[in-house]
């Protein structure tokens, strides 16, 4: 998230809470307007935060807002926001996060039905009280009920894109503690799952007590769940500002487990705590069959003694590195992302035995990606001009960038009318003079309408180098209708990529549930690549879909759906999802060299 976006998020929260508290409309609007203004600024406001004159010269930023921008830039917080958050029951702030519940409604159910927590809200929905409140019909209540299921406190799994930056902060901090030799995250996070139940951190150190002590004092720790020398657990607040410590009450909370382990047992511990549980069970069975026993302390010779071997001072056969432990089990090292007991162990065995036919596939890596095929500019809802976008893609070492702004039906996202698209194509072509050394392709992210038809005429589509067809609206269609809709788009001869195929948003909405096998068959037949949208809220296709698509012989596109320069950084989440689906560079169009990519694109013209 950029500085401007973080700031906008703060102002929006101020506006929402003010409205909830029934404060002066003028103040509410001033902050809501500030949020929109700040977000739309082409320059990073932190660079002029100290310059009051420059700030207030911007339409929509008055002196008071300017002061708050300066305060946020220097301290990372806005005192007024913290004070406002104090005045509202914390549960209400959570309720306001429920999609579709605005401050007015929340204020109403707070005042009239004394709802202060998600549980209260659930109760008045279940007993029907809510229907007696103003403006609460069956339909709106059903919507609230559905949205609630996603935000339910405690059961909510944290998105990969929030958990990973937080875990990286913790690891970087741990590496600075005295005596620490190694630190890393394990668990579902290391496996790259789309959501994370809790964060597992492993540390090897000569100062065990010191590590636990420092861990429980990390910024953002809200509650110490347990604390001992070998293992501690805390509940932390994850910052809404990714990659920073939480400075105020924004952002969800997450449990973090710390385990302190001896350096010479690092590999065994990493294997155990990376899991998955199912993968671990297979490995332990394999060890037993070979007369050994596998624990988090190492791989030991098996005997009938019920006391665990490490407690008897027995030296492990292998424990220092994961590779060594896998090898002692006659297995090639399995990449963390595919440790799910979905066939990886048989391939690791074959690879270890140097079977020429079978081995673990060479999974795709971030460094393989050389093209971004889905990106927006200021022409629709992006933050970058064509030239800025191309420059950023070039800086990141890409040989191709595709400009794919929204089509006309995505009106709220600034979708382009056919006339504007024609002009935009010309602008894209002329940008080629300004940025050399990268292919700048003209494309569109064309809406797939509810019936599967596309949002532009074929004649116009034919003028584009790249067509990404994506569903944006009508996302609660039944599975059969959704399948027919997507297949129709795939069958369109001009379409290259099916963008975020289901339209789901993690923890927010389920999206379409088409018959994926039918989608895979059509995509393969029509040479259409299925997108893994790398934004961590989407990750759509999801891991198991990728696996199905790869097995069905489909092409995969991993795209950042760039709206802001920082969106390029989401690539790793898309790649990790691709790896979980066993995708190789060979099947991923973004990993192809420029001539091959061009050949495929032109094949549809
Ligand atoms: P999560 O946190 O729900 O997203 O998923 P994980 O996989 O991170 O699970 P977690 O945090 O409960 O445990 C971390 C790892 O520790 C897990 O992947 C495998 C290992 N582990 C935990 N409990 C067991 C168990 O009962 N048996 C075995 N074999 N391994 C376990
Ligand atoms: Ca975990
Ligand atoms: Ca855990
Ligand atoms: Zn897009």
Q: Ligand 2 centre and the CA of 257: distance in Å? A: 8
User: Ligand 1 centre from 188 Cα, in Å?
Assistant: 8
Closest residue by Cα to residue 159 from 254, 81, 90, 234: 254
Does the pTM surpass 0.95? The reply is no
Q: Which ligand is nearest to the CA of 187?
A: 1
- Would you call 241 helix, strand, or coil by DSSP? coil
Residue ranges, CATH 3.20.20.140, the chain: 366-602
d(CA 240, CA 162): 8
Angle 392-554-520 from CA coordinates, rounded to 5° = 115
Give the atom of ligand 1 at the shortest distance from the alpha carbon of 157: 4
Q: How buried is residue 599: exposed, middle or buried, by Cβ count under 10 Å (0-12/13-18/19+)?
A: exposed
CA distance 199 to 166: 9
Q: Which residue has a Cα nearest atom 28 of ligand 1?
A: 277
For ligand 1, atom 25, the nearest C-alpha belongs to 277
Burial 532-552 (b: 16+ CB within 10 A, else e): bbbbbbbbbbbbebbbbbbee
pLDDT of the residue at 39: 87
- Between the CA of 257 and the centroid of ligand 3 the distance, in Å, is 6
Taking ligand 4, which is a single-atom ion, which protein residues have CB atoms under 5 Å away?
Answer: 445, 561
The protein residue with its alpha carbon nearest to ligand 1, atom 30, reads: 277
What's the pLDDT at 152?
60
Ligand 3 mean position to 323 CA, how many Å?
A: 23
Residue 151: predicted pLDDT = 66
Look at the chain and count its residues.
605
CA distances from 508 to 99, 148, 255, 505 (A): 7, 9, 21, 5
* Res 102: pLDDT: 83
Distance 410 CA to ligand 3 centre (A): 41
Domain limits, CATH 1.10.150.20, in the chain? 94-153
Which of 3.20.20.140, 3.10.310.30, 3.20.20.100, 1.10.10.10 would CATH assign to domain 366-602? 3.20.20.140
Q: Which residues hold their Cβ within 5 A of ligand 3, which is an ion? A: 198, 200, 257
CB within 6 Å of ligand 1 — which residues? 187-188, 193, 196-198, 200, 272-273, 275-277, 280-281
Q: How far is the CA of 415 from the centre of ligand 4 (A)?
A: 11
Assigned CATH for 94-153? 1.10.150.20
Which ligand 1 atom sits nearest the alpha carbon of residue 198? 2
Point out the ligand 1 atom lying closest to the alpha carbon of residue 199: 2
Contact (CB, 8 A) for 328 and 267 = no
Nearest ligand, measured from the Cα of 197: 1
User: Which of 259, 280, 339, 580 maximizes ligand 1 atoms within 8 Å of its Cβ, making it the mutation to test the pocket?
Assistant: 280
- What separation in Å is there between the alpha carbon of 253 and the centre of ligand 3? 14
Closest CA to ligand 1's atom 5: 188
Q: What is the pLDDT of residue 265?
A: 97
SS3 175: coil
Report the separation in Å between the CA atom of 159 and the middle of ligand 4, taken as the mean of its atom positions: 20
* Residue 155 DSSP label: T
C-alpha 430 – ligand 4 centre gap (Å): 22
Give the sheet arrangement for strand 371-372, strand by strand.
371-372, 400-406, 439-447, 466-470, 497-498, 529-533, 555-559
Task: Take atom 19 of ligand 1 and give the residue whose Cα is closest.
Answer: 275
Sheet holding 253-261, edge to edge: 180-185, 198-205, 253-261, 231-237, 221-227
Query: Which residue from 275, 285, 287, 339 has its CB within 8 A of the most atoms of ligand 1, so it is best to mutate?
Result: 275
Residue 259 CA to ligand 3 centre (angstroms)? 10
Ligand 2 centroid vs 197 CA: distance in angstroms? 5
CA 581 to ligand 2 center in whole angstroms:
20
Nearest to 10 by CA among 199, 181, 250: 250
- The residue whose CA has the least distance to atom 2 of ligand 1 is 197
Angle between helices 208-216 and 160-174 (to 10 degrees): 130
CA-closest candidate to residue 29, choices 45, 41, 11: 11
Which residue owns the Cα nearest ligand 1 atom 27?
Answer: 277
- Atom 20 (ligand 1) nearest CA: 273
* Atom 26 in ligand 1: residue holding the nearest Cα: 277
Closest C-alpha to ligand 1, atom 22? 277
CATH topology of domain 267-352: Beta Polymerase; domain 3 (3.30.210)
CATH 1.10.150.110 intervals, the chain: 3-85
Q: Which of 166, 184, 200 to mutate to test the pocket of ligand 1 (most atoms within 8 A of CB)?
A: 200
Instruction: Give the residue range(s) of CATH 3.30.460.10 domains in the chain.
Output: 158-261
> Given this model, what pLDDT does residue 135 score?
87
From ligand 4's centre to the CA of 122, what distance in Å? 35
Just give the CATH number of 3-85.
1.10.150.110
DSSP-derived 3-state class of residue 92: helix
Q: Please give the CATH architecture assigned to the domain spanning 158-261.
A: 2-Layer Sandwich (3.30)
| Ranges for all domains in the chain classified under CATH 3.30.210.10 | 267-352
Average pLDDT along the chain, 605 residues, taken 10 residues at a time:
86 92 92 91 89 92 94 90 88 81 89 90 91 88 79 74 96 97 98 97 94 94 90 91 80 92 97 97 97 97 91 95 98 98 97 96 98 97 96 98 97 94 98 97 98 97 98 94 98 98 91 96 98 98 97 98 96 98 98 98 94
| Residue with CA at minimum distance from ligand 1 atom 10 | 187
């Amino acid at each position: 998230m950029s500085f401007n976006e973080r700031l906008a998020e703060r102002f929006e929260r101020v506006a929402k809470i003010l409205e909830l508290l029934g404060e002066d409309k003028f103040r509410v609007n001033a902050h809501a307007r500030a949020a929109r203004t700040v977000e739309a600024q082409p320059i990073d406001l932190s660079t002029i935060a100290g310059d009051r004159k420059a700030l207030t010269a911007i339409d929509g930023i008055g002196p008071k807002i300017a002061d708050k921008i300066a305060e946020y830039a220097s301290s990372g917080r806005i005192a007024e926001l913290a004070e406002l958050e104090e005045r509202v029951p914390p549960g209400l702030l959570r309720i306001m996060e429920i999609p579709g519940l605005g401050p007015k409604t929340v204020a109403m159910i707070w005042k009239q039905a004394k709802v202060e927590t998600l549980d209260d809200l659930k109760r008045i929905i279940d007993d029907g009280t809510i229907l007696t409140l103003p403006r609460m019909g069956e339909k709106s209540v059903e919507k609230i009920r559905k949205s609630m299921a996603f935000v339910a406190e405690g059961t909510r799994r944290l998105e990969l894109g929030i958990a990973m930056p937080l875990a990286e902060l913790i690891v970087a901090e741990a590496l600075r503690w005295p005596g620490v030799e190694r630190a890393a995250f394990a668990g579902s996070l290391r496996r790259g799952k789309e959501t994370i139940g809790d964060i597992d951190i492993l540390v090897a150190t000569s100062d065990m007590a010191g590590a636990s002590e420092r861990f429980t004092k990390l910024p953002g720790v809200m509650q110490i769940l347990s604390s001992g020398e070998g293992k501690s657990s805390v509940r932390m607040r994850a910052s809404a500002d990714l990659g920073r410590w939480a400075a105020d009450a924004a952002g969800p909370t997450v449990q973090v487990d710390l385990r302190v382990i001896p350096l010479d047992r690092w590999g065994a511990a990493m294997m155990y705590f990376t899991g998955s549980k199912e993968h671990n069970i297979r490995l332990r069975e394999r060890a037993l069959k070979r007369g050994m026993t596998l624990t988090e302390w190492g791989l030991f010779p098996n005997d009938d003694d019920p006391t665990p071997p490490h407690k008897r001072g027995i030296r492990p056969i292998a424990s220092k590195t994961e590779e060594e432990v896998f090898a002692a089990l006659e297995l090639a090292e399995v990449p963390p992302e595919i440790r799910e007991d979905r066939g990886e162990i048989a391939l690791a065995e074959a690879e270890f035995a140097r079977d020429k036919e079978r081995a673990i596939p060479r999974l795709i890596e971030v460094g393989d990606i050389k093209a971004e095929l889905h990106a927006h500019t200021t022409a629709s809802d992006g933050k970058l001009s064509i030239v800025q976008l191309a420059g950023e893609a070039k800086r990141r070492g890409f040989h191709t960038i595709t400009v794919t702004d929204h089509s006309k039906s995505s009106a709220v996202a600034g979708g382009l009318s056919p006339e504007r698209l024609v002009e935009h194509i010309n602008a894209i072509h002329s940008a080629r003079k300004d940025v050399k050394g990268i292919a700048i392709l003209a494309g569109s992210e064309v809406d797939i309408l509810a019936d599967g038809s596309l949002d532009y005429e074929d004649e116009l589509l034919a003028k584009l180098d790249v067509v990404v067809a994506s569903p944006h609206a009508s996302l609660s269609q039944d599975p059969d209708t959704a399948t027919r809709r997507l297949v129709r788009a795939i069958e369109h001869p001009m379409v290259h990529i099916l963008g975020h195929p289901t339209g789901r948003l993690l923890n927010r909405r389920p999206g379409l549930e088409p018959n994926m096998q039918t989608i895979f068959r059509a995509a393969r037949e029509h040479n259409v690549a299925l997108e893994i949208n790398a934004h961590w809220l989407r990750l759509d296709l999801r891991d198991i879909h990728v696996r199905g698509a790869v097995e069905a012989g489909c092409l995969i596109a991993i795209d950042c759906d760039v709206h802001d320069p920082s969106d390029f950084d989401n690539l790793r989440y898309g790649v990790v999802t691709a790896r979980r689906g066993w995708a190789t560079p060979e099947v991923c169009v973004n990993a192809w060299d420029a001539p091959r990519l061009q050949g495929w694109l032109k094949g549809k013209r």
